[in-house]
Each structure stands twice: as C-alpha cells, then as structure tokens.
Homo-oligomer: A and B are copies of this chain.
Amino acid sequence: MGERGFATSEFEARLARAQAMMAAHDLDALFLTTEPEVRYFTGYLTRFWASPTRPWFLIVPARGKPIAVIPGIGAALMAQTWVEDIRTWSAPDLQDDGVSLLAETLREVVPRAGRIGLPDGHETHLRMPLADLERVRSALEGRRIVGDAGIIRALRMVKSPAEIMKIETACAIAARAFARVAEFAREGAALDRVFRQFQMTCLGEGADWVPYLAGGAEQGGYTDVISPAREIPLVSGDVLMLDTGLVWDGYFCDYDRNWSVGVPAPVVATGFAQLVEASDAAFGIARPGATAADLFHAMQEVLARNGETTDAGRLGHGLGMSLTEWPSLIPSDHTVLEVGMVLTLEPGIALGDRILVHEEDIVITESGARYLSPHLGPELAVI
C-alpha cells in the first residue's frame, strides 16, 4: 500500500490547472457543493457526507487558495487540510443555512458583474437546497452564477500518479478479496450471506469502506447487475457475479468477477470468453489519441458477432473519487483518451433472459493501457 493523503504540491497543481481554465473561460470563481468536488481541491476526506442535512461550500477564486464555507462541525477536520480560509456557521440553521456567509464570500472574491462557475452538466448535481441557491443568486448584487464550462470534468478525468496509486491499491485489495470468494461462496450458501462475507473480506484485506457491492446469481447468468442480494442459496448452474466499488484513501476500484457454480453450460462458457475477448480488444487499442467511442466499438464488434446487448447503456466508464466518472464508453462520447485516464472496460451480453457482465480497470499510459485489476483469461472460474 502507498502513502495516505497527498503532498500539498498535488493540490497546488490542481488549483493552478483550474485557475488557468477559469481564466480561459472568463470565470471569476468556481462554486462547488459535492463531496468529490470539495475533496478534489482540499483533500477533505470524511464519511460525514452520508448525512444529507448540512450543505458544504467551497469557493475556488481566480487567484489564491480555495475558501471553505462550511458547518462548524467540519472546522477541525478542514483545518488539517492545506485550506487556510475556513468560514463556518452553526448548521443546521433553519433561517439561514450558510446562505448569507456564502453570498458574502462570493461578493468578496468575485468582482461586480463577475461570473461564478457552478457545475451543471452531465454527471453533476447541486448538493444544497434549490431554494437556497435562489437566495444566494439574489444576494450577489450583479454577479452571475453560470455553468462551470466543464472544468471540473476535464480536471478530474485525468488522474495524477498519486491518484492512480490509490486506485491501484483499491484494485489490489479487491483482487485479494475476489481470490478468497471460493472460501465462502459454495453451492448451498445464500447469496445475501455471500454478499456480507465478501464485504467483510474486502475490509479484512484492507478496504477502508465498501460503498458499493452489487451482483447476482441465477441459472446461466443474472437478471440485472444492480439488485441487492436475495436470501436464495447458490445452486449448480448458477453464475455468481460480484461487482464491488471499495475505497482506499478516498479512491474507488470498480470491477467484477464471475464464477460458475459447477461446470458451466457451453453457452455460458462461450459467452464469458466472448466478454473477455471484447475487453481485450478495447484494451488493445486503448492509448492516448483513441476515443471513448473507439473503445466502445472495439468491444461492440466482438459482442455483436453473436449475443444481444444488455440495458446497461454503456460498455465502461471512468472512475476515481467516485464509483463512476466521465467519460462513458458509448458511440456518442468522443472524449480523446489521455495519459492518466482511468477507465473500466465493462462488456455485457444477453443470453436469453439472463445477462453476463465482465469488468476490468485500466489506466492510459504513454505506450498504451495498463491493467489495474488482474487481467482475466477467457476461462470462467468454477466454484
């Protein structure tokens, strides 16, 4: 495992890139409200975001360091980051839950008639009450809240070496946990117990927490890949799939593994091999200059030979501080791959009314792609 946290130089570099892009887009500040956005510029890492009660704000000015406008409960932890200007209010405040303090801060750092960038595009949301956003708007005295011109997306999509190391650590923890699944996932074991045991194994192998686990186990595949586990025992002929997003030091892995309970039916064995062939094909062309759509088509070409597609809507995606991030491996996403992008390759096929999905995590390097998850061969594991 690597070191926790980041050197201050990492945050300085992120800030410098952000401010250069802000200048290019004529933005006088970024206004951020979600966990990964705040953490990206501060390193502020806490599970307290699970509580939806309190809003948290971070202002990235055109010059100078980020300013945190946060509930008092977070002050001690924020003071441990590189952020120096920390402004707090006693939240929750039913009359004024940070609105005045936020508006005052924006008026201070943004010139009159200035533009404040708020992420508003695909895969973003606003983590504060909508009515309070309107109150902030009306207190800005001429300053305008506009979109962030995709700056946050562009920044977060390319990972630093330190970020990649954290994702790789998460992948390695999951690999050790996946390697132990056969210890508890046997014929007769109930799927909900397998889910519990797998999460315990992830923690035992070093995960800080396990925010995501999905999967399934049915005859010859599974019905979907997002359902919680049912209290139904594994039986011969099932294909068990576990898909985990565990976290180490705030960064996710996101990949799955499949097991046949007993010898797989030929159609299942062939289908799985086809999935691996598809992800291998995408891996083979994944390099700087290729596009997200190229990777989609490389996989789709293999999958279309026989077999139908699933309802997943894409064949992979970015990952990092969130379980899923930009880009999407779909025909319309023409994002050009760059060194440092981390992606999942996630081909799926339908076998009758069941599906099979396979997933690996990769990083784009100068010479091509490198696996962060242990690359699987075409033979489906048997338990």
Measuring CB to CB, which residues of chain A are less than 8 angstroms from any residue of chain B? 4, 45-48, 50-54, 71-77, 88, 90-95, 97, 118, 120-131, 147, 192, 195-197, 199-200, 203-204, 206-214, 223-228, 231, 245, 310-314, 317, 322-325, 328, 330, 332-333
**Closest Cβ of chain B: how far from A308's Cβ, in Å?**
13
Closest to A222 in B: B76
Q: How far is the CB of A243 from chain B (nearest CB, A)?
A: 10
Smallest CB separation, A103 vs chain B (Å)? 17
Measured CB to CB, the closest approach of chain B to A178, in angstroms, equals 17
Partner of A122, one of B92, B224, B313: B92
Specify which chain B residues have a CB less than 8 angstroms from the CB of A130 in the assembled complex: 118, 120, 124-126
How many identical subunits does the complex contain?
A: 2
Residues of B within 8 A of A310 (CB): 73
Which B residues are CB-close (under 8 A) to A94?
A: 122, 328, 330, 332-333
Instruction: Decide if A76 touches B223 in the complex (CB within 8 Å).
Output: yes
Known: A71-B313, A74-B226. 14 other contacts (CB 8 A): A46-B214, A47-B213, A47-B226, A53-B328, A77-B226, A88-B311, A92-B328, A94-B122, A118-B130, A121-B129, A125-B125, A126-B130, A196-B203, A199-B209
A55 and chain B: residue at smallest CB distance: B125
Residue of B nearest to A312 (CB): B73
| Alpha-carbon distance between A383 and B333 when the two chains are bound, in angstroms | 56
Docked CA distance A228–B48 (Å): 9
Whether A121 contacts B131 in the complex (CB less than 8 A), given A94-B333, A313-B92, comes out as: yes
A324 surroundings in chain B (CB, below 8 A): 51-53
Q: Which of B126, B128, B228 contacts A46 (CB 8 A)?
A: B228
Partner of A313, one of B73, B199, B245, B312: B73
Q: CB within 8 A of A73: which of B122, B209, B311?
A: B311
Are A52 and B227 neighbours in the complex by a CB distance under 8 Å?
no
- Residues in B with CB closer than 8 Å to A95 are 332
A128 pairs with B131, CB closer than 8 A: no
Q: Which residues on the B side are within 8 Å of A197 (C-beta)?
A: 203
For A323, the chain B residues whose CB sits under 8 A away are: 50-52
Contact A131 B126 (CB under 8 A): no
Which B residues are CB-close (under 8 A) to A200?
A: 200, 203-204
Report chain B residues within 8 Å CB of A312.
72-73
